[in-house]
Chains A and B, each alone.
Chain A
Amino acid sequence: MNIMDIIGPVMVGPSSSHTAGAVKIGQISRKLLAEQVRQAEIYFHGSFLATGRGHGTDRALIAGLLGMAVDNENIPNSFEAAKKEGLEFTFRGIDLGDAHPNTVKMYLTGESGRKLEIVAASIGGGQIRICEIDGLNANFCGDYPTLIVHNLDQPGHVTEVTSMLAHKSVNIATMQLYRDSRGGNAVMVIECDQEVPRESIRWLEHLEGIEKVTYLSLEEA
């Protein structure tokens, strides 16, 4: 936090958590899908569900999926913009148990057919957290270039990924490992200080035992 968080940000109202945070969740999800979103099935939980309509959470989220920034004055008109850009969406309610009150679950499909399931929360002041990707835990804020690797839970995959990063001079800021069961599906979430080269991500995708690689780049697409 710095003084530009005290005076600022410039944003479309009415709420930093329910509006600006929702835009940011949409933006990051679009970047994670790494292509134009064509279909979005959206489920609101908790306070997002109860007061989202009044806060424009729905329009904000769609605006973010279209790539708009938190201060874009077109946020209130995002449904019309989505129609023009060929993004179809539905909103429903869901009970995600003890998830953060401002949580949304989305099933996204991109223009090439690429799919992404994401659970994200708006945790206050416009800050967000990506909680789950494709059904497995993740826990990152979207402020760093982030590499998410889904792999089979077997020896060696962490070394493959981290050696590649070392070779490309990418420093690891944080790293988390999760799995659903021993020998089952596993995920590593790595926040980096530098961008990971595209060709290295493609290389990872082809390795035996690596099931899916998702990457959040902070550079403009």
Chain B
Amino acid sequence: MYKSLEEIVSAAEKSSFYEAVLQDDCKERGIEKEESKKQMRAMYEAMKNADDNYDGTLVSASGLAGTDGEKLAKARMEKKLLCGDFIGLVMEKAVKMGESNACMKRIVAAPTAGSCGVLPAVLLSLEEAKGYSIEQMTEALYVAAGIGGVIASRAFIAGAAGGCQAEIGSASAMAAGAVTWLAGGTEEQICHAAALALKSLLGLACDPVAGLVEVPCIKRNVIGAVNALTASDMVMAGIKSYIPPDEVIDAMRNIGRNMPSCLKETGEGGLAVTPTGMQVKEKLPNFMEERK
């Protein structure tokens, strides 16, 4: 995988962002382009299946998650959402995927299970709204993977390592780049969209209630998805990130390193230690009780 976005941009001089990532993958894994593309297409299709298989009646084992995607769908159908139909659809898909994950359904970790709603919410909604081909959506996933790969090499993509900015922040940056690719942005614009998206989520703590991938993770997928779209729109309007994209990723690493461990997926800080969060944790069934 590439160590910097700058490297991808220079490798893309003779081809494109998508092809640079594809070629690097083929070289690294010693496989043919068709094999790599087949696997990536399967990932997109798995995202689609996961979205189709959402079950609005399911509730997670803890009782904390479920049925909210259905509420958003209803409000959207009734045209009650201020954000409008398209953003409404993105929100709905993000929540649905997060809930499916919490309810032990099959999802695609992208880059993680906790942030699995961001990319599909953005990409599936765009495919529905704009009629992009599966081929174009697959290319967009390569762009997202290229950005995610750089973030994984320079910083981290796990909440335990860098907080939620490393999960929802990375997913949002990846989605922003993918959207910008679909919108016809240049290689530089793809990187700047990723930078703007990541900048907006820098410092986000990983503070899940009772240590579960439910509160606040599911709804944070919404902000990750919508933030990707606004970042891409800003860039396509001609706005740039003042801080160069690779430096933004380094800033994320810096913040993650300085973040206390109570805010890195330990369930010992933030929302997890609010009175309500603590109550949830105390009531949660565990294996000791099961013995009785």
Contact = CB atoms under 8 A, between A and B. Distances in A.
A75 B103 CA distance: 11
Contact of B29 (A2, A11, A56): A2
Contacts of A56: 61, 104
B21 interface: yes
A3 B286 contact: no
Given A3-B21, A14-B212, A124 B160 contact: yes
Interface stretch (A25-33, A42-50, A132-140, A148-156): A42-50
Interface stretch (B105-113, B193-201, B240-248): B105-113
A49 B149 contact: no
Interface string B106-147: 111111111010010000000000000000000001101110
A8 B214 CA distance: 20
A125 B148 CA distance: 14
B269 to A, nearest CB: 15
| Size bin of chain A's contact surface | 35 or more
Contacts of A178: none
B212 A8 contact: no
Nearest to B104: A76
The 10 closest A-B pairs by CB, nearest first: A13-B101, A6-B148, A3-B145, A51-B211, A14-B213, A76-B104, A54-B212, A10-B46, A54-B62, A91-B287
Interface of B: 1, 21, 25, 28-29, 39-40, 42-43, 46, 60-62, 100-114, 116, 119, 141-142, 144-146, 148-149, 152, 157-158, 160, 174, 210-214, 267, 284-288, 290-291
Given A49-B287, A53-B284, A124-B160, A7 B40 contact: yes
18 contacts: A3-B142, A6-B144, A7-B110, A8-B110, A10-B46, A12-B104, A12-B107, A13-B105, A13-B106, A15-B213, A20-B109, A54-B211, A54-B212, A56-B61, A58-B287, A73-B106, A92-B288, A125-B158
B263 to A, nearest CB: 16
Contacts of A47: 211
B50 to A, nearest CB: 8
A136 B40 CA distance: 41
Contacts of A124: 158, 160
B40 to A, nearest CB: 7
B133 to A, nearest CB: 18
Contact of B287 (A3, A53, A71): A53
A44 B213 contact: no
Contact of B39 (A4, A6, A44, A58): A4
Nearest to A11: B109
Contacts of A71: 106
Contact of A2 (B25, B107, B286): B25
Interface of A: 1-4, 6-16, 19-20, 44, 47, 49-56, 58-59, 71, 73, 75-76, 91-93, 124-126
B106 A51 contact: no
Given A6-B110, A92-B291, A59 B211 contact: no
Given A14-B102, A91-B290, A51 B210 contact: yes
B212 A3 contact: no
Contact of B286 (A13, A14, A53, A75): A53
B108 A10 contact: yes
A73 B105 contact: yes
A56 B284 CA distance: 13
B53 to A, nearest CB: 9
Given A6-B145, A124-B158, A13 B108 contact: no
A55 B284 CA distance: 11
Contact of B149 (A6, A11, A19): A6
Contact of A11 (B25, B102, B113, B142): B113
A2 B114 CA distance: 19
B212 A51 contact: yes
A1 B213 CA distance: 23
Given A2-B28, A6-B111, A50-B211, 13 more contacts: A1-B1, A4-B43, A7-B108, A7-B145, A13-B101, A13-B104, A15-B114, A44-B287, A52-B286, A53-B287, A54-B60, A54-B62, A55-B213
Contacts of A10: 42-43, 46, 106-109
Most buried by A among B62, B106, B287: B287
A221 B40 CA distance: 28
Contacts of B104: 12-14, 19, 56, 59, 75-76
Contacts of B152: 1, 6
Given A7-B40, A16-B109, A53 B213 contact: no
